[in-house]
């Protein structure tokens, strides 16, 4: 414990020292990328609001499978169906963790669903994930600041500070958060992380999509975008000349529950 604290302290000091030259060190709890390794994405250096466009026209079962698998394996998200306890598959599902997953239009956009929807949209699979809200209700609810919003707009979690009160889960109007009802390693093969470079969580804490903050810190784009075959594009919504803003200017996009004023940063082209 002491080692880790000192390590982080040194790392923090180093980060301050060299941040003028390169990127800052990146640390969330025990997960740490030193300032030497961080080479933020050009966009990350100036980003004020990371956002995502999901082009639903390019989504199909195969792409969705690629995306969810990539995200969940790289982030050590357990497979609830492999939990030894509870025995009943329906109750195993109760302990499900998901960062990005498929939903039907009627669920993804409830309650603002449109009648007489085109056949295509009716059957289009939608991907849902944390919306990285501009005005996140989860951050407001969290009593320990374990959930917080970074200056680049990403809503992150410190798994070591979370007390597991689940107030954020009640607050999130998108159902984007999951709780570790048991040790998540129970649902990983041989109880080992599928990606040793990323931390596994412990039981009793909440988690959600982190917009691959650990990737942005080393100049890479999120995993989901990488395997999406063009269906997912991320970028800085705060920069009016960014590719993502151009995309939104030229196409019709919708967001989930925009009337709530949360300011979702995930847009859907339909």
Partner 1 sequence: MLEKALNGGKSYWLWLAGLSAVIGLAFLVYMKQWTFGLGITGMHRDFTWGFYIAQFTFLVGVAAGGVMLVLPYYLHDYKAFGRITILGEFLAIGAVTMCLLFIVADMGQPTRAMNVIINATPYSMLFWDAFVLNGYLALNLIIGWKLLEAERNGVDAPKWVKPLIYLSIPWAFGIHTVTAFLYSGLPGRGFWLTAVLAPRFLASAFAAGPSFLMLLCFLVRRFTNFDPGEKAMKTLMKIITYALIANIFFFACEIFTAYYSQIPEHMAHINYLFGLGDHGHGVLVGWMWTSMALMIGAIILLVQPKIRNNEKYMPFLCLMVFFGTWIDKGMGMMAGGFVPSPLHHYNEYVPTAPELVITVGIWCVGFAVITVLYKIAVSIKEEIKA
Per-residue binder mask for partner 1 (CB under 8 A), 13-32, x = binder? --------------------
Cβ closest to partner 1, residue 41 vs residue 92: 92
Contact 242, 233 (CB under 8 A): no
The residues pairing with 129 across neighbouring beta strands, listed in sequence order, are 100
* Binding residues for partner 1, total number by CB under 8 A: 51
- Restricted to residues 172-211, the positions that interact with partner 1 (CB under 8 A) are 172-175, 178-183, 202-206
Q: Which residues contact 113 (CB under 8 A, 6 or more apart)?
A: 105, 106
Both structure tokens of 198: 């990323």
Cβ closest to partner 1, residue 168 vs residue 244: 168
Part of the chain binding partner 1 (CB under 8 A), chosen from 23-31, 46-54, 66-74, 254-262: 254-262
Q: Is 122 in the site for partner 1 (CB under 8 A)?
A: no
Which residue in 39, 45, 149, 161 binds partner 1 (CB under 8 A)?
161
Q: Is 143 in the site for partner 1 (CB under 8 A)?
A: yes
Cβ closest to partner 1, residue 12 vs residue 86: 86
Q: What single-letter DSSP state applies at residue 102?
A: E
User: In angstroms, what is the minimal distance from the CB of 107 to partner 1?
Assistant: 4
Q: Which residues contact 171 (CB under 8 A, 6 or more apart)?
A: 137, 138, 140, 141
Cβ closest to partner 1, residue 178 vs residue 265: 178
Which residue in 94, 150, 191, 246 binds partner 1 (CB under 8 A)?
94
User: In angstroms, what is the minimal distance from the CB of 184 to partner 1?
Assistant: 10
Part of the chain binding partner 1 (CB under 8 A), chosen from 69-77, 157-165, 190-198, 243-251: 157-165
Give the span between the Cα atoms of 218 and 240, in whole angstroms.
24
Rounded to 5°, the CA angle 70-99-169 comes to: 170
Q: Produce one character per residue of 227-246: b if its CB has 16 or more CB atoms within 10 Å, e if not.
A: bbeebbbbbbbbeeebebbe
Q: Is 111 in the site for partner 1 (CB under 8 A)?
A: yes
SS3 of residue 245 by DSSP = helix
Among residues 267, 196, 194, which one has the least CA distance to residue 232? 267
The continuous run of DSSP H or E covering 216 comes out as helix 213-216
Find tokens 């041989």 and name the residue.
190
What are the residues binding partner 1 (CB under 8 A)?
85-86, 93-96, 98, 103, 106-108, 110-111, 128, 137, 140-146, 161-167, 169-175, 178-183, 202-206, 257, 260-262
């Amino acid at each position: 414990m002491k080692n880790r604290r000192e390590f982080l302290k040194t790392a923090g000091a180093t980060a301050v020292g060299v941040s003028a030259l390169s990127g800052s060190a990146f640390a969330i709890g025990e997960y740490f990328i030193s300032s030497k390794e961080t080479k933020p994405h050009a966009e990350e250096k100036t980003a004020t609001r990371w956002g995502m466009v999901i082009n639903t026209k390019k989504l199909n079962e195969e792409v969705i499978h690629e995306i969810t698998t990539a995200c969940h394996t790289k982030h050590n998200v357990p497979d609830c169906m492999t939990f030894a306890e509870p025995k009943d598959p329906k109750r195993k599902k109760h302990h499900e963790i998901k960062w990005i997953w498929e939903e039907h239009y009627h669920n993804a956009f409830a309650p603002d669903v449109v009648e007489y929807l085109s056949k295509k949209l009716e059957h289009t699979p939608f991907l849902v994930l944390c919306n990285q809200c501009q005005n996140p209700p989860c951050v407001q609810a969290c009593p320990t600041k374990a959930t917080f919003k970074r200056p680049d707009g990403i809503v992150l979690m410190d798994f070591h500070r979370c007390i597991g009160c689940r107030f954020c889960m009640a607050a999130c109007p998108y159902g984007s958060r999951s709780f570790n009802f048991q040790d998540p390693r129970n649902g990983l093969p041989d109880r080992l992380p599928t990606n040793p470079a990323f931390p596994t969580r412990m039981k009793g804490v909440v988690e959600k999509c982190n917009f691959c903050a650990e990737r942005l810190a080393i100049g890479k784009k999120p995993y989901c975008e990488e395997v999406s075959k063009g269906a997912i594009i991320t970028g800085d919504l705060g920069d009016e000349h960014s590719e993502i803003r151009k995309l939104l200017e030229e196409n019709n996009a919708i967001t989930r529950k925009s009337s709530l004023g949360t300011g979702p940063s995930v847009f859907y082209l339909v």
